[in-house]
Amino acid sequence: MAKKTILPFGPQHPVLPEPIQLQLVMEDEIVVEAIPAIGYVHRGLEKLTETKAIAENIFVVERICGICSFMHALCYCQGIESLMNITVPDRSRFLRVIWGELHRLHSHHLWLGLLADAFGFESLFMQCWRNREMVMDIMEMTAGSRVIISTNALGGVRRDIDSDQQKFILNSLNKLQEELDNIKRVFSDDYTVNKRLVDVAVISKEDAHELGAVGPVMRASGLSFDYRTTGYAAYNELDFEPIVEQSGDCYARMMVRLRECYQSIDIIRQAFAKLPEGPIASPVKGFPSGEIATRVEQPRGEVLYYIKANGTNHLDRLRVRTPTFANIPALLKMVKGLTLADIPIAILSIDPCISCTER
């Protein structure tokens, strides 16, 4: 029986883009338990939303997470809209899908780059982020800002995409798909990459379900759950299937995200083909009242907003359950039995977004 050592992993670590600490209980090189310590970037945004006006809250919830800001705003707007019985114009529903999928694309590219960096493949990291730049350019052109695009509004969207911009976007996506083919070959077939990812940090189907994992972590374990299939925004008029892998290891989680990049490109093309003409926002009058729990599929998984409104311009309570928060218990389970050298990749494989987690 070896002596147990507690090794603090983080809050500052080269592999972590944001601060989280895992206290790893080690027996020699093997992790036997992990205790999380979060709270380094808690900002109290849920409290802030109680003091701001309802329309202003869109800008607050967008800042919960930089990478999936559009989906946070989308989820919030959908919640308030259904409380107030507002019908969103068809064109803005499709525009929401387009921006949502662009966000998914740039988030997955960012993550693929970080993963390549985590297993020490610098040039692959550079290539992923170079490709991501194409998506960022699209965002800058259509919305006026690269990350926090602020195009959602109650009752619709704030900006339109005209036909010149559509051509630019579709050209960029064709180029992106070619580049993605090059990257995919390396990620899926390269000997060294496979050695680092296959059979590392496996989480079984039952565990993933019981621990409440969401998003790519859940789908990589063979559970078919993608909230987009319920057809919010315009997803009910688009054709796609949830992407599922069976093995539940880091490689499966990587493949889910890689294949979702192709899926997103496909969804954007479909949405442009079906994009109807018409207004982009419907008028909003009055204030909501009542309670609702809405969900949206983010790049990292399902997000839940619980909104309680009281008929005034301020909310009673806004509660956000972000996907990383749900994936942390799964992370604690999957690091058990790993060697220390595999911990960075295991942590990264859930795509941790700590600012999301702590709000």
**Cβ proximity to other proteins, 225 vs 287, nearer residue:** 225
- CA–CA distance from 175 to each of 98, 316, 326 (Å)? 17, 47, 35
**DSSP per residue, 290-337:** EEEEEEEEETTEEEEEEEEEESSSSEEEEEEE-HHHHHHHHHHHHTTT
- Comparing CB distances to other proteins, the nearer of 120 and 290 is 290
Minimum distance from residue 38 beta carbon to other proteins (Å): 6
Q: Please report whether residue 252 would count as binding other proteins according to CB under 8 A.
A: no
Among 23, 177, 229, 313, binds other proteins (CB under 8 A): 229
For the record, the structure tokens of 5 come out as 């050592």
Q: Pick the binder of other proteins from 321, 343, 345, 348 (CB under 8 A).
A: 321
Q: How far apart are CA 67 and CA 152, in angstroms?
A: 15
Give the 3-state secondary structure of residue 118. helix
Nearer to other proteins among residue 268 and residue 330 (C-beta): 330
Site for other proteins in 296-315 (CB under 8 A): 302, 304, 306, 308
By the rule CB under 8 A, 89 interacts with other proteins: no
Is 39 a residue that touches other proteins (CB under 8 A)?
Answer: yes
Whole-number Å distance between alpha carbons of 213 and 302: 9
CA distances from 142 to 35, 51, 257 (A): 43, 31, 24
Using alpha carbons, select from 54, 80, 76, 55 the residue that is nearest to residue 65. 76
Phi, psi for 181 (deg, rounded to 5)? -60, -40
The Cα–Cα gap between 351 and 335 comes to 14
**170 is a contact residue toward other proteins (CB under 8 A):** no
Question: In terms of CB distance, is 49 or 264 closer to other proteins?
Answer: 49
User: Which residue number, 31 or 273, has a Cβ lying nearer to other proteins?
Assistant: 31
The residue within the footprint of other proteins, chosen from 60, 98, 115, 173 (CB under 8 A), is: 60
Task: By CB under 8 A, name the binding residues for other proteins.
Answer: 35-39, 42, 44, 46-47, 51-53, 56, 59-60, 63, 130, 137, 140-141, 144-145, 148, 150, 158-159, 209-212, 225, 227, 229-230, 290-293, 295, 302, 304, 306, 308, 316-317, 319, 321, 325-326, 328-330, 358
